Amino acid sequence: MPNSEPKLPAHELILYDGVCGLCNRFIKIVLDNDRLGHFQFASLQGDIATRLLGRLGKDPAVLKSIYLIQGYPEAESLDTTPIEHLRLVSKARAALAICAQLEGPIHLVKYFSILPTWLLDFGYDLVAANRYRIFGRHDTCPLPDPAHFARFIDQSGA
């Protein structure tokens, strides 16, 4: 007899620069257009990002990329989940993969994925190099809206 219980939605983890004005605006767009709660979030300045990126061979102190982690474990089993179960997507490809799963007009951004990665990342790096100057920088990671608090899995960021 098939299981009639509804399946919980799969989750993917977005790691973002918690003090970046542009990054925080992007996370707000994700929250506004991810009505099923597919994505969860952690700042790059927090413990979970440090542990995950370290295991994936990335320097957690480098704050120049947004990361999408597919297949991430619950925080409690972070250190014991086999690394091959995780898929790390970064920079422009991560932003496009996130947008492709959102509702509303923002999902149309996915069509930029036809461009070569080198060109997408050139544009991404140009914006990343100037993001604090253009979009501002917070002294600490802003607290999420209480309605979304549970989707932020690491509140120990900067």
pLDDT digits (tens, 9 = 90+) for 108-147: 998 999 999 999 999 999 999 999 888 888 877 777 778 8
Rounded Cα–Cα distance for residues 99 and 88 (Å): 16
pTM for this one?
Answer: 0.85
- Determine, yes or no, domain membership for 6: no
- Determine, yes or no, domain membership for 84: yes
- Determine, yes or no, domain membership for 132: yes
Q: Number of folded domains in the chain?
A: 1
Structural domain containing residue 54: 12-154
- Determine, yes or no, domain membership for 1: no
Give the pLDDT confidence of 83-94 residue by residue, as tens digits. Answer: 787 899 999 999
CA dist 115 → 61, 94, 122 (Å): 29, 14, 11
Give the pLDDT confidence of 53-69 residue by residue, as tens digits. Answer: 988 899 888 888 999 99
For residue 135, the model assigns a pLDDT of 86
Instruction: Specify whether the CB–CB gap between 120 and 51 falls below 8 A.
Output: no
Q: Tell me, what amino acid is at 155?
A: Q
